[in-house]
């Protein structure tokens, strides 16, 4: 078993990465290494495994055997503890130029174990314009043993100047059977449950695993998919919007409260809070006021991102619901993501026209755009709910 075996349904991408890792070994051994480049861009829809593919490739670069999957080098990369791997994941709404410049400085260091220095930049599309310009300069002239691995949903999400300097690896959404097989064999999920989760997640492996193993995730999905039949009046639309936004806020709070407290405590301690000595504590804390304010801003941005991601996940569930309705209205012979609630789908399909269904899908997508433009979530979701009402 190698590090590439976990890339479900990505045979073409895996073949490219295997050849590149072999070329990288030639470079390390003093050869030409044709086919190896110092900047890679992994793209694909949510759930396609962009980050998993990039991490597997990083392990193959570090491993003397091209990613055997069982040596110390592979293990350290896969768990994120390898000293020559810098893994970056923007937690907030964006990744600033200051953070990018600090990353570039770290990337310039020589590898400690003599092979490669790898920078795995998840969600590179969140880099601001100035940050992207700084990143471009680093990619254009990287140190000899530094490799950049950028991840983004699509090529168009990054500046054309960055795209043109990267070798692209495009990943696709794996099929239902492939995802179900992974859940059944690696997570010991019963086949029926695995098939349901894979179908409902529409090929998103992490989402499928959560649906299969977490009852709370399944309950939240049921609540979202129950929204269309609950929108019988204006009051019900407002209530549904409030519940959806409140759930997102609660998830953001649950994900960030403990982490925020820990980060704040560590920073205050770093700047001397609790230290003894006349005037020492007050002076150091005052000196760290700017750092504390910067931390609070990052924490707020992170909470907003988690809340927005939670809302977006719910909106995509609604899109899948109306997409299934549309498929039934046209008699399309496609797999229904929400086949477990076929009765609800059939009822709505009979009660409205395909044009109405398309307008509802457009309303959901418009809500996603508004949330991305920082429109007040409550207002955006209320407007969407009213548009979904029969």
Residue 275 dihedral angles phi and psi, to the nearest 5°: -75, 155
Q: Is 154 helix (H, G, I), strand (E, B) or coil?
A: coil
Q: Verify that 29 and 134 share a domain, yes or no.
A: yes
Instruction: Indicate whether 231 and 331 sit together in one domain.
Output: yes
Asked if residue 354 and residue 240 are part of one domain, the reply reads yes
**One domain for residues 133 and 235:** no
| Structural domain contains residue 289 | no
- Do 250 and 313 sit in the same domain of this protein? yes
Same domain, 202 and 222: no
Claim to verify: residue 130 and residue 224 sit in the same structural domain: no
pLDDT in tens, the chain (390 residues): 788 887 887 888 899 998 888 888 887 776 555 557 899 999 998 888 899 999 999 999 999 888 898 899 999 999 989 999 999 988 788 888 999 999 999 888 888 886 899 999 999 999 999 999 999 988 988 888 899 999 999 999 999 999 999 999 999 888 899 899 989 998 999 999 999 999 999 988 889 999 999 999 999 999 999 999 999 999 999 999 999 999 988 888 888 888 888 878 887 777 766 555 555 455 445 556 777 888 788 888 888 888 998 999 999 999 999 999 999 999 998 999 999 999 999 999 999 999 999 999 999 999 999 998 889 999 999 999 999 998
Pairing type for strands 117-121 and 39-43 reads unpaired
Q: State pTM to two decimals.
A: 0.81
Closest CA to 300 of 142, 149, 93, 103: 93
> Are the C-beta atoms of 385 and 241 separated by less than 8 Å?
yes
Question: How large is the C-alpha radius of gyration of the chain?
Answer: 24
Instruction: Mark whether 71 and 187 lie in a shared domain.
Output: no
282 assigned to some structural domain:
no
Strands 85-88 vs 146-152: parallel, antiparallel or unpaired = unpaired
Residues 250 and 309 in one domain: yes
Domain boundary among 111, 146, 170: 170
Q: What CATH number is given to the structural domain containing 126?
A: 3.40.50.300
Q: Which range marks the domain in which residue 126 is found?
A: 10-170
Contact, 332 vs 341, CB < 8 A? no
Instruction: Indicate if 246 and 192 belong to the same structural domain.
Output: no
Residue 235 maps to which CATH number? 1.20.272
Do 119 and 226 reside in the same domain of the chain? Answer: no
What is the phi-psi region of residue 126: left when phi exceeds 0, alpha when psi lies from -120 to 50, beta otherwise?
Answer: alpha
| Tally of domains within the chain | 3
Please report whether residue 183 resides in a domain. Answer: yes
Same-domain check for residues 40 and 102:
yes
């Amino acid at each position: 078993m190698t590090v590439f075996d976990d890339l479900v349904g990505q045979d073409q991408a895996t073949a490219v990465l295997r050849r590149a890792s072999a070329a990288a070994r030639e470079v390390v051994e003093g050869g030409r290494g044709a086919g190896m480049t110092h900047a890679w861009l992994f793209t694909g829809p949510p759930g396609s495994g962009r980050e998993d593919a990039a991490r597997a490739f990083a392990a193959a670069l570090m491993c003397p055997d091209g990613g055997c999957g069982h040596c110390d080098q592979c293990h350290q990369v896969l768990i994120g503890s390898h000293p020559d791997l810098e893994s970056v994941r923007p937690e907030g709404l964006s990744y600033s130029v200051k953070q990018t410049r600090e990353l570039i400085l770290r990337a310039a260091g020589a590898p400690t174990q003599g092979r490669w220095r790898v920078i795995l930049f998840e969600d590179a599309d969140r880099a601001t314009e100035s940050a992207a310009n700084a990143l471009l300069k680093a990619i254009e002239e990287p140190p000899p043993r530094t490799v950049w691995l950028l991840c983004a949903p699509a090529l168009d999400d990054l500046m054309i100047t960055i795209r043109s300097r990267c070798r692209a690896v495009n990943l696709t959404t794996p099929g239902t059977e492939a995802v179900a097989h992974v859940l059944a064999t690696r997570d010991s999920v019963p086949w029926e449950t695995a098939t349901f989760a894979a179908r409902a997640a529409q090929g998103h492996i992490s989402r499928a695993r959560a649906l299969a193993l977490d009852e709370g995730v399944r309950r939240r999905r049921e609540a979202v998919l129950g929204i269309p039949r609950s929108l019988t009046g204006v009051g019900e639309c407002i209530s549904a919007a409030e519940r959806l936004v409140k759930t997102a806020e609660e998830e953001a709070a649950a994900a960030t409260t403990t982490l925020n407290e820990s980060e704040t405590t560590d920073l205050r301690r770093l700047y001397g809070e609790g230290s003894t000595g006349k005037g020492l504590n007050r002076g150091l804390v005052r000196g760290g006021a700017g750092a504390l304010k910067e931390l609070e801003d990052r924490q707020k941005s992170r909470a907003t991102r988690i809340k927005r991601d939670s809302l977006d996940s719910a909106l995509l569930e609604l899109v899948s619901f109306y997409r299934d309705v549309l498929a039934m209205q046209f008699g399309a012979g496609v797999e229904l993501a929400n086949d477990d609630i076929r009765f609800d789908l059939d009822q709505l399909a009979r009660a409205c026209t395909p044009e109405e269904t398309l307008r509802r899908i457009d309303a959901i997508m418009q809500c996603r755009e508004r949330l991305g433009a920082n429109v007040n979530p409550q207002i955006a979701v209320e407007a969407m709910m009213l548009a979904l009402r029969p």
